[in-house]
Amino acid sequence: MQNFTHCIPTTVYFGKGQVKAVSEELKKQAKKVLIVTGGGSVKKYGIFDDVIKQVKKAGIEYVELSGIKPNPRLKSVYRGIETCKKESVDFILAVGGGSVIDAAKTIAAGVKYNGDVWDFFIKDKGLFPADALPIGCVLTIAATGSEMNENAVITKEDTRRKLAFGSPLLRPVFSILDPEYTYTVNKYHTAAGVADIMAHVFEQYFSHTPAYAQDRMAEALLKTCIHYGPIVCEKPRDYVARANIMWASSLALNDLIGEGKEQDWASHGIEHELSAVYDISHGVGLAIIAPNWMRHVLSEKTIGKFLEYGINVWGIDKNKDKMAIANEAIDKSRKFFNSLGLPEKLSEVNISNERFQDMARNATKHYGKVGHFKELSEKDIVEILNMSL
Ligand code: NZQ
Ligand code: ZN
């Protein structure tokens, strides 16, 4: 295991009615809040009203930034930065999913930076925020783990680049996780969220660094998704299922299972190119790419991890031929995503091979190295994309 420093300072309020904690949290640290929301769901389903009640109870002033789109755009971040500066905002409250939270985080860093906040996303510049406004979250969809991690992913619309940056300053100081707030998420986005959670686990699990404790926890999260994923898709108001998926989403990407390990992140690198150019749902892109990435990287050198995955997660008979176990595990992953109603092929989301070469070039150019479990060349990426057509 590699050395690591583990610090997750986010206070999580988990469960029914936990929104009531918002007023006390705000009273501790805010005078004027920017409330960031998405395309309208939180207003339609009453979550926004619950939050406003708490903000008013705390006697805190607020301004709003609504209309953050899935795959959030840099322009909306600039709007938020401007509002914060003009209104002397000292705290940002994100009410929504990963897109809203990521926009809020980027605004938080941008307000305290004199240059263009996009600088932080360009790896070559080597810049990190020196300061940021504090942020809090009311999570409304289980998927990204952004509610408990330090990352943000933003799309620059003119160049169609979708990039990530991170800083410990961006970890939310508190997050409200009420599983009832996810009852209204439709089947498509619920399933995409489950695929995203599983993909986060894959990125950290498929590694050459031995880490027994992290890997058994990772397997537990995968099993949680396999058990409760179909239930949240079919019975959206099942509290126990929504609760398990919601907590799995936070645990899958809050550093817990990845500490001390070399991590992969190739499937995410490839998917971010797809959603940057074609604006598809992140989890949908991952459901298409991840099993093909698995098939591409499976070899005599990597088979050990696939055996653990097949035997421990899918319960495949350990006495079978090794390659057969690995391939069966990959088949089961694919079938599972299909069973949630997610697409299997890029053609199902209207993506052709037209831009594959550009996307592969962009991914390798930006990240320098795509993948660690197996390092991918441009040619490898194009091959995985072609397998996904
Ligand atoms: O926009 P609204 O109206 O809110 O509707 C949203 C959106 O259409 C809807 N939704 C959310 N909560 C709802 C609801 N609908 C009904 N009831 C509710 N309670 O769901 C749709 C998707 O929302 P979005 O926030 O885009 O989903 P998600 O949480 O999956 O976030 C995806 C974004 O996060 C990035 C992705 O790349 C993508 O841009 N990621 C962020 C990461 C991070 N910060 O750590 C890591 C991830 O790997 C990922 O890259
Ligand atoms: Zn993801």
Which of 159, 181, 203 finishes a domain? 181
Are 196 and 77 members of one domain?
no
CATH number of 160's domain: 3.40.50.1970
Q: Which amino acid is at 215?
A: D
Among 95, 99, 233, say which to mutate for ligand 1: greatest number of ligand atoms within 8 Å of CB: 99
> Nearest C-alpha to atom 31 of ligand 1 is from which residue?
98
pLDDT, residue 169, reads: 98
Q: Do 168 and 132 form a contact (C-beta atoms < 8 A)?
A: no
Residues in the chain: 389
Rounded Cα distance between 118 and 158, Å, is 13
In angstroms, the Cα distances linking 368 to 23, 69, 154, 261 are 44, 29, 19, 19
Are 112 and 203 members of one domain?
no
SS3 309: helix
**Token code pair at residue 284:** 């949908």
**Ligand nearest to the CA of residue 99, numbered in listed order:** 1
How far, in Å, is the centroid of ligand 2 from the Cα of 144?
A: 5
How many CA within 13 A on the CB side of residue 155?
A: 23
* Segments of the chain with pLDDT less than 70: none
Residue 352 lies in a domain: yes
How far, in Å, is the centroid of ligand 1 from the Cα of 347?
A: 23
> Nearest C-alpha to atom 38 of ligand 1 is from which residue?
71
pLDDT, residue 67, reads: 98
pTM of the model: 0.98
Residues with CB under 6 A from ligand 1: 38-42, 45, 70-71, 96-100, 102, 140-141, 143-146, 149, 151-153, 181-182, 184-185, 189, 193, 196, 253, 268, 282-283
Are 216 and 243 members of one domain?
yes
Nearest-CA neighbor of 190 among 252, 143, 243, 131?
A: 143
**259-297: b (≥16 Cβ within 10 Å) or e:** bbbebbbbbbbbbbbbbbbbbbbbbbbbbbbbbbbbbbb
Range(s) of the domain holding residue 117: 11-181
pLDDT, residue 365, reads: 86
The CA-based angle 324-330-333, given to 5 degrees, is 140
Q: Look up tokens 């007023």; give the residue.
A: 23
pLDDT, residue 51, reads: 98
The H-or-E segment that residue 11 falls in is: strand 11-14
CATH number of 383's domain: 1.20.1090.10
pLDDT, residue 366, reads: 81
Q: Do 247 and 177 form a contact (C-beta atoms < 8 A)?
A: yes
pLDDT, residue 369, reads: 86
Are 134 and 197 members of one domain?
no
Are 100 and 237 members of one domain?
no
- How many domains, the chain? 2
DSSP bridge pairs for 161: 156
Q: What backbone phi and psi angles, to 5 degrees, belong to 332?
A: -65, -35
Radius of gyration of the chain (CA): 20
Are 200 and 345 members of one domain?
yes
Nearest-CA neighbor of 171 among 150, 143, 145?
A: 150
**Token code pair at residue 335:** 């079938």
> Nearest C-alpha to atom 18 of ligand 1 is from which residue?
185
Report strand pairing: 91-96 vs 151-156. unpaired
